[in-house]
Amino acid sequence: MNIAKTLREFRSLREQLPSPVGFVPTMGYLHDGHLSLARMAREDGASVVASIFVNPTQFAPTEDLDAYPRDLKRDLELLEAEGTDLVLTPETNDEFYPAGYDTWVDVAGITRVLEGASRPTHFRGVATVVAKLFNVVQPDRAYFGQKDAQQALVIRQLIRDLNFPIELVLGPTIREDDGLAMSSRNAYLSAEQRTAAPVLRRSLDRVEALYEGGERRGNVLRDAMQELIDTEPLATIDYVSVANLETLEEADVLEGKALVSLAVRFGKTRLIDNTILPRGASLI
Amino acid sequence: MNIAKTLREFRSLREQLPSPVGFVPTMGYLHDGHLSLARMAREDGASVVASIFVNPTQFAPTEDLDAYPRDLKRDLELLEAEGTDLVLTPETNDEFYPAGYDTWVDVAGITRVLEGASRPTHFRGVATVVAKLFNVVQPDRAYFGQKDAQQALVIRQLIRDLNFPIELVLGPTIREDDGLAMSSRNAYLSAEQRTAAPVLRRSLDRVEALYEGGERRGNVLRDAMQELIDTEPLATIDYVSVANLETLEEADVLEGKALVSLAVRFGKTRLIDNTILPRGASLI
């Protein structure tokens, strides 16, 4: 496995990789969600490129950029064990955002709701760094996790709208045994918060069960999630949503596919999770 | 010469072109400025790709999108005569901006002044379509004209900031015998306006002469341009500028390179021109 700490190094190592190239962009502190994407890329027969970069432009000034967990040595061992060929891990933010940097990629529309409503500059930062990474890595396929469902839809639109010659591949959300979606931010949770957090997946289970029992009213489904999460005193809801999957607008009555999603705080730690209705339907 | 009317057709023809590939993006109604860029690409030993697309997103609703001159048959003959290998000329705007299109590339900073102050959404449209074209064409080199000096600086920043693996090559402004910079929009001029228009180049000549005589005060240079252009009753100044070439801020006292530029209306026709000080210095 080769490791590039600068874009210049990366480019010369990238040139030597056989096609097709599969790309797994990450912010590091890897868990099995990330690693499952590297595994998918490998199983698809691609050279596997991963990036580890805690992208500052997708954090607001009030958010957890400085606290974001890092463990580069362990990340590199894990990626190597998955058969990753090349890792881009820039040592400084200057490599991506040098003095005078001033170009922004904005996917409008679907970025204004849900995560985008709570974090107004987040998806601009995501779309910008992903466009940059796509140009640097020039992958044939890019792998993203369904856990960040809205992000996946934003990347799909970015690829389509800007004509990137890249196939988007999504991996399923990987969960702990008790149902908590894996996330680098789970490391922030206290023992009590960690015990409480599986309420998120249980609230999605409840919506799935109601839906399968015939319930189609959006407000009934949202209320059911909220009610269950509110039984957990350590949980503070940011949003619960049952939205049309195409528009991400809140659904009055469900028709076609829906994205059921939530963002909930445990202390300072903000966690997200989601499921698609009907159960087992694909996000994209 | 191959001609592609859809992106799908283009991609399969593009695959067959030997590297390196030089790219000349245009809005058609070609003049010798455009053709000199195709010639440069050919002389650089590249396969030559040109695009002809009157990009709607760089026009404001009040501007001349519908009136913009078009002559596809002649354009294709001219490109063929220059040894162009492949032309992308989408028949509909939907090819680039299908229903639901919603992604925008914004180079901030230097797009807020000069042309950007007069045309607030112009460079967002330019940066967006150029990013799209770069992803579709995947050139090794891209050729732009120095006549659109601010645009060239925007493209340089776009390439640098978004890490496009593309070399920017600029061609000099090509002029009519009387000094008028070639522009597709010159076709709009009445005979009287056409006779008056060379005052633009003469005003740049005057600034160059003052500079070479030792004048370094920005306001004196701007006043000299304005005074000369104002002698021409058919000309209405939009702006005259003597700006620091790096920041595009108006210069009080010139130090280092300066961009001298202007936008002037003759009736409804808005023309631009520029020169770099010291004379003969390069724009990028």
Nearest to B102 among A108, A163, A165 (CB): A108
Do A132 and B101 make contact, defined as CB atoms within 8 angstroms? Answer: no
Cα(B98)–Cα(B151) distance, integer angstroms = 25
Choosing from B14, B34, B119, B222, the catalytic residue is B34
Nearest to A103 among B11, B158, B165 (CB): B158
Do B110 and A127 make contact, defined as CB atoms within 8 angstroms? Answer: no
Nearest to B161 among A102, A110, A164 (CB): A102
Closest CA–CA distance from residue A259 to any residue of chain B (Å): 19
Known catalytic residue: B31? no
Element (H, E) at B70: none
Do A162 and B109 make contact, defined as CB atoms within 8 angstroms? Answer: no
ipTM score of the complex?
0.96
Residue A249 DSSP label: P
**Residues in chain A whose beta carbon is closer than 8 A to a beta carbon of chain B?**
7, 11, 100-110, 127-128, 131-132, 135-136, 138, 157-158, 161-165
**Residues in chain B whose beta carbon is closer than 8 A to a beta carbon of chain A?**
7, 11, 100-110, 127-128, 131-132, 135-136, 138, 157-158, 161-165
Write out chain B residues lying below 8 Å of A132, CB-based.
161-163
Closest CA–CA distance from residue A142 to any residue of chain B (Å): 15
Q: Which two tokens stand for residue A9?
A: 């190094």
Count the Cβ atoms, other than its own, within 10 Å of residue A267.
Answer: 13
Closest CA–CA distance from residue A138 to any residue of chain B (Å): 10
Query: Domain map of chain A by residue range?
Result: 2-171, 184-277
Closest to B48 (Cα-Cα) out of B14, B11, B73, B71: B14
Segments in chain A below pLDDT 50: none
Closest to A284 (Cα-Cα) out of A179, A174, A183, A145: A145
Do A164 and B105 make contact, defined as CB atoms within 8 angstroms? Answer: no
Do A161 and B101 make contact, defined as CB atoms within 8 angstroms? Answer: yes
Write out chain B residues lying below 8 Å of A131, CB-based.
105, 131, 162
CB pairs A-B closer than 8 Å: 75
Nearest to B103 among A132, A136, A158 (CB): A158
Residue of A nearest to B156 (CA): A103
Do A158 and B109 make contact, defined as CB atoms within 8 angstroms? Answer: no
DSSP strands (E only) in chain B = 2-4, 21-26, 47-52, 86-88, 103-107, 141-145, 167-171, 235-244, 258-266, 269-277
Residue B35 phi, psi dihedral angles, 5° rounding: -65, -30
Do B162 and A132 make contact, defined as CB atoms within 8 angstroms? Answer: yes
Question: Which pLDDT score is estimated for A49?
Answer: 98
Burial letters for B162-175: b for 16+ Cβ neighbours within 10 Å, e otherwise? bbbebebbbbebbb
Closest CA–CA distance from residue A178 to any residue of chain B (Å): 39
Cα(B270)–Cα(B263) distance, integer angstroms = 7
Do A104 and B101 make contact, defined as CB atoms within 8 angstroms? Answer: no
Question: Which pLDDT score is estimated for B165?
Answer: 98
Cα(B93)–Cα(B129) distance, integer angstroms = 11
Segments in chain B below pLDDT 50: none
Cβ partners under 8 Å of residue A143, min gap 6: A22, A23, A24, A37, A38, A40, A41, A169, A170, A171
Do A127 and B103 make contact, defined as CB atoms within 8 angstroms? Answer: yes
Q: What is the pLDDT of residues B90-116, one digit of tens each?
A: 999 999 999 999 999 999 999 999 999
Cα(B231)–Cα(B238) distance, integer angstroms = 15
Cβ partners under 8 Å of residue B21, min gap 6: B14, B46, B47, B48, B49, B137, B138, B139, B140, B141
* Average pLDDT of the residues of chain A: 97
CA angle B264, B268, B272 (to 5 degrees): 30
Task: Report yes or no: A166 and A16 within 8 Å, Cβ to Cβ.
Answer: no
Write out chain A residues lying below 8 Å of B132, CB-based.
161-163
- Identify the residue among A163, A245, A249 best suited for mutation to test binding to B, counting B beta carbons within 10 A and taking the highest: A163
Do A161 and B102 make contact, defined as CB atoms within 8 angstroms? Answer: yes
Phi-psi region of A163 (alpha: psi -120 to 50; beta: other; left: phi over 0): left
Do A104 and B109 make contact, defined as CB atoms within 8 angstroms? Answer: no
Residue of B nearest to A96 (CA): B161
String of DSSP letters for A192-235: HHHHHTTHHHHHHHHHHHHHHTT--BHHHHHHHHHHHHHTSTTE
Which residues of A are catalytic, by number? 34
Residue B94 phi, psi dihedral angles, 5° rounding: -60, -30
Q: What is the pLDDT of residues B157-203, one digit of tens each?
A: 999 999 999 999 999 999 999 999 999 999 999 999 999 999 999 99
CATH topology assigned to domain B184-277? Pantoate--beta-alanine Ligase; Chain: A,domain 2 (3.30.1300)
Question: Which pLDDT score is estimated for A39?
Answer: 98
Question: Which pLDDT score is estimated for A64?
Answer: 93
CATH topology assigned to domain B2-171? Rossmann fold (3.40.50)
Write out chain B residues lying below 8 Å of A135, CB-based.
162-165
DSSP strands (E only) in B30-175 = 47-52, 86-88, 103-107, 141-145, 167-171
Q: Which two tokens stand for residue B85?
A: 């290998």
Q: What percentage of chain B exceeds 90 in pLDDT?
A: 99
Write out chain B residues lying below 8 Å of A127, CB-based.
103
Do A135 and B163 make contact, defined as CB atoms within 8 angstroms? Answer: yes
Q: Which residues pair with B87 in a beta bridge?
A: B3, B50
Cβ partners under 8 Å of residue A61, min gap 6: none
CA B44 → CA B40, B138, B141, distances in Å?
Answer: 6, 17, 10
Residue B93, classified by CB atoms within 10 Å of its CB into exposed (0-12), middle (13-18) or buried (19+), is middle
Cα(A19)–Cα(A141) distance, integer angstroms = 10
